[in-house]
């Protein structure tokens, strides 16, 4: 599913170049559940943005389902993001002026789903994350954990093949974290490839494999248990 | 992203910044409103003038006059300035013509006792009130018998009476014109519509054309009123008479009947209102341009403010085209709302002017549709640059924008 070959990301900052990701190569098979670990500033979010076709590597190749996305046109990338990838961002990134329901509908609007179909699917997803009593609430009227769950519901809207979650349990208590991770596990069992960025060892424990990142380099991969 | 969704988004962002949106659309609103109001009042005024001129045509009467007398300027070659006795006789021989009355106009000194004034003297038939558009306030109009009998009678306009006597109660008194005393039999008031009254009004003395011919034998008629046998086609006969008179005068440009004369005035009125509309219209378009620039400015602000929203939408699969269309729709939404409200305001202003001044108004739906489309086009043009800027954002930079 994911093949990274010698991927680097550098920023030019006033004459100096800052290397955020250095020569990263790894592969994630379809249906895997992977945790990405590393200290703050190690480049986890940057890597996730590249994996999600939002950002481009400075060097190297990234193939998603056999397609070299570094060579794709912006229009195709938008389509890939819409159809194949579900994002849960570190800071949720919900649109502040529309309701939870409408936020979840957004990816389906760009997928040209009918109004009724969108509405039904969004309600179903919000029920799945336990928010069926908060459909009309604005993001500002929701708690951090509730926002996170709206973001997860939105990520699942178009039945993505790849779910990318950046600290999806960062704002949640241990009980809710467990529920969310169980949800991810269920999704993974239906065939969705899941990649979770986390600091939390309990969260990482759900993953079959861990990839550790320090200063933009992969320092170790660890198989936790057999692939399911 | 379907149209309904975009309308919703546009409406939402307009509602979020309601005051800002209203202020932004003010320029468009005022521009469109003034265009609508000006055209409505201009067209209404023009139509009113034209219709009063049209209604002044008498049944079974043809008015023939030398061409282009109303437009001052140098006489052109082939132009005649008056109507001769030969012309009158020529017309009298036509089949379908019952009677031909010459009409005389001139300025003369009129005296009454010690007072005198320079007044318009008009000589004509007993139905002169219909031709010269006045009614009798006191007394009566001179009769057909007065005309036949060359009687020394006169009708004074209110203006003339007050200039000569200081009062309008002057029936039975006499005025002297060209040495000939005339009995005042009636007092008249103009029935010209108020717009024309100021231009054409003033003191006038009306006498039978026969009487005037006696006093001023060398005056030439400046117009003739031709009576027509009922049932005759007036316009056909008019054309034939004019043609015959033109041949007689060896000029194609000598005479016209009053329909041509009216057409001339209508054209003049049309030109004047068009120029006025153009002048005020261009001032209004400045308001539209300024309004458009305001919309562009606000859209640029909006794009910057919503950079993160753009990033989020892109991360969820919005293509550049979808972002472009979204912001274009928003800018068009603002200008079209402004245009729509402007049309309402413009119509209201025109109606207000109508109530206040009794000037007629005519709100033209073509101008409404046109200004609505125009405001949409302004939205499109002024939205292109900001919308393009929004769609060219790099998704990740947009997402990180605080
Ligand atoms: N646009 C940019 N320009 C310059 N440097 C950047 C840019 N974006 C990210 N960086 C740098 O890249 C490094 C990695 O950032 P990243 O957000 O990927 O870290 P992270 O591993 O997700 O950290 P955290 O756990 O705190 O979220 C940081 O040092 C950051 O300063
Ligand atoms: Mg991060």
Sheet architecture: strand order including A2-13:
A16-28, A2-13, A59-64, A67-68
* Nearest-angstrom CA–CA distance, B35 and B285: 8
pLDDT digits (tens, 9 = 90+) for B297-310: 999 999 999 999 99
Nearest-atom number in ligand 1 for the CA of A48 is 18
The pLDDT value given to residue B54: 67
Cα distance between residue B254 and residue B86, in whole Å: 14
Residue-range domain boundaries for chain A: 29-57+72-223
The answer to whether B168 touches B150, Cβ cutoff 8 Å, is: no
Chain A, nearest residue to B13 by Cα: A97
Torsion from C-alpha of A72, A74, A79, A84, nearest 10 degrees: 60
CA of A40 to the centre of ligand 2 (A): 7
Q: Which stretch, A166-175, B157-166, B375-384, has highest mean pLDDT? A: B375-384
What pLDDT, on a 0 to 100 scale, did the predictor assign at position B199?
45
Q: E-strand spans in B253-361?
A: 255-257
Residue A107 is nearest to which of B2, B317, B399, comparing CB atoms?
A: B317
In ligand 1, which atom is closest to the CA atom of B397? 1
**Contact status of B112 with chain A (Cβ, < 8 Å):** no
Q: Which of B2, B16, B315 sits opposite A81 (nearest CB)?
A: B315
> Rounded to the nearest whole angstrom, what is the distance from the C-alpha of residue A17 to the centroid of ligand 2?
20
Residuewise pLDDT in 10s, chain A (228 residues): 899 999 999 998 888 999 999 999 999 999 999 999 998 899 999 999 999 999 999 999 999 999 999 999 999 999 999 999 999 998 889 999 899 999 999 999 999 999 999 999 999 999 988 899 999 999 999 988 889 899 999 999 999 999 999 998 877 788 888 888 998 999 999 999 999 998 888 888 899 999 999 999 998 776 655 444
**pLDDT digit string, tens, across residues A167-194:** 988 777 888 888 889 989 999 999 999 9
Q: What average pLDDT does range B131-153 have in this prediction?
A: 89
How does B212-249 read in b/e, with b if 16+ C-beta sit within 10 Å? Answer: bbebbeebbbbbbbbbbeeebebeebbeebbebbbebb
- Beginning with the edge strand found earlier in the chain, give each strand of the sheet holding A193-197 in spatial order: A85-88, A162-166, A193-197, A33-37, A209-214, A217-223
Q: Ligand 1: does its nearest atom lie under 6 Å from the Cβ of A90?
A: yes
Q: Do A75 and B316 touch (CB under 8 A)?
A: no
Inter-chain contacts counted by CB atoms under 8 A, chains A and B? 68
Ligand 1 pocket member A20 (CB < 6 A) = yes
The domain segmentation of chain B, as residue ranges, is 3-52+267-400, 68-253
Long-range contacts of A211-214 (CB under 8 A, 24+ apart): A211/A26, A211/A34, A211/A35, A211/A36, A211/A37, A212/A37, A212/A38, A213/A36, A213/A37, A213/A38, A213/A42, A213/A43, A213/A44, A213/A47, A214/A38, A214/A39, A214/A42
Res. B389: pLDDT tops 90: yes
pLDDT at B69: 47
| Nearest C-alpha neighbor of B115 from the set B187, B185, B163, B167 | B163
Of B246, B260, B209, B195, the C-alpha closest to B62 is: B260
Ligand 2 centroid, distance to A87 Cα (angstroms): 13
CATH number of the A29-57+72-223 domain: 3.40.50.300
Q: How many whole angstroms from A169 Cα to the centroid of ligand 2?
A: 13
pLDDT one-digit tens code per residue, B341-379: 999 999 999 999 888 887 788 888 888 999 999 999 999
Distances (CA, A) of B91 to B79, B211, B237, B394: 19, 22, 10, 88
Distance from CA of A226 to the nearest CA of B (A): 33
What average pLDDT is seen over chain B? 85
- Name which of A166-170, B108-112, B122-126 the model is least confident about: A166-170
Say what percent of chain B tops pLDDT 70. Answer: 91
């Amino acid at each position: 599913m994911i093949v990274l070959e010698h991927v680097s990301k550098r920023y030019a900052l006033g004459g100096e170049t800052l290397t955020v990701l250095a020569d990263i190569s790894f592969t994630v098979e379809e249906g895997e559940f992977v945790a990405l670990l590393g200290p703050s500033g190690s480049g986890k979010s940057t890597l996730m943005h590249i994996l999600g076709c939002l950002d481009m590597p400075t060097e190297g190749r990234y193939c998603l389902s056999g397609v070299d996305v570094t060579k794709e046109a912006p229009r195709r990338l938008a389509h890939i993001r819409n159809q194949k990838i579900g994002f849960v961002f570190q800071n949720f990134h919900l649109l502040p002026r529309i309701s939870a329901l409408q936020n979840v509908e957004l990816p389906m609007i760009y997928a040209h789903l009918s109004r009724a179909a969108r509405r039904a699917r969004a309600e179903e997803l919000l029920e799945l994350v336990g928010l069926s009593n908060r459909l009309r609430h604005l993001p500002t009227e929701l708690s951090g954990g509730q926002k996170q769950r709206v973001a997860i519901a939105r990520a699942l809207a178009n039945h993505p093949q790849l779910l990318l979650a950046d600290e999806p349990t960062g704002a949640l208590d241990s009980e809710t974290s467990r529920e969310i991770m169980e949800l991810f596990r269920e999704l993974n069992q239906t065939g969705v490839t899941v990649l979770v960025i986390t600091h939390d060892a309990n969260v990482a424990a759900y993953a079959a494999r861990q990839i550790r990142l320090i200063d933009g380099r992969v320092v170790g991969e660890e198989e936790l248990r057999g692939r399911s | 992203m379907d149209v309904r969704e975009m309308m919703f988004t546009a409406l939402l962002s307009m509602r979020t910044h309601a005051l800002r949106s209203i202020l932004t659309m003010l320029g468009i609103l005022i521009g469109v409103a003034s265009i609508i109001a000006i055209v409505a009042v201009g067209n209404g005024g023009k139509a009113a003038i034209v219709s009063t001129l049209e209604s002044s045509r008498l049944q079974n009467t043809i008015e023939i006059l030398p061409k282009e007398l109303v437009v001052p300027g140098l006489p052109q070659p082939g132009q005649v300035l008056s109507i001769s006795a030969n012309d009158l006789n020529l017309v009298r021989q036509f089949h379908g013509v019952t009677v031909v009355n010459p009409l005389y106009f001139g300025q003369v000194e009129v005296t009454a006792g010690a007072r005198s004034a320079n007044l318009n003297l008009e000589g004509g038939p007993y139905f002169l009130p219909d031709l010269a558009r006045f009614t009798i306030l006191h007394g009566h109009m001179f009769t057909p018998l007065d005309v036949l009998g060359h009687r020394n009678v006169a009708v004074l306009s209110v203006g003339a009476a007050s200039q000569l006597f200081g009062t309008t109660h002057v029936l039975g008194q006499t005025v002297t014109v060209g040495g000939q005393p005339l009995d005042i039999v009636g007092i008249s008031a103009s029935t010209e519509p108020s717009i024309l009254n100021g231009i054409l009004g003033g003191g006038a003395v009306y006498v039978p054309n026969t009487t005037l011919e006696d006093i001023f034998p060398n005056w030439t008629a400046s117009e003739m009123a031709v009576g027509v046998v009922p049932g005759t086609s007036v316009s056909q006969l008019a054309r034939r008479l004019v043609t015959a008179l033109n041949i007689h005068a060896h000029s194609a440009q000598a005479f016209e009947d009053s329909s041509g004369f009216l057409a001339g005035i209508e054209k003049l009125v049309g030109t004047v209102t068009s120029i006025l509309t153009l002048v005020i219209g261009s001032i209004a378009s400045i308001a539209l341009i300024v309004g458009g620039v305001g919309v562009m400015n606000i859209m640029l602000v909006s794009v910057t403010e919503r950079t993160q929203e753009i990033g989020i939408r892109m991360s969820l699969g919005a293509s550049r085209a979808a972002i472009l269309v979204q912001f274009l729709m928003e800018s068009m939404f603002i200008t079209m709302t402004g245009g729509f409200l402007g049309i309402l305001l413009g119509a209201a202003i025109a109606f207000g002017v109508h109530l206040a001044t009794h000037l007629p108004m005519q709100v033209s739906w073509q101008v409404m549709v046109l200004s609505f489309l125009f405001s949409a086009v302004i939205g499109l043009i002024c939205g292109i640059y900001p919308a393009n800027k929004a769609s060219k954002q790099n998704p990740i930079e947009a997402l990180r924008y605080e």
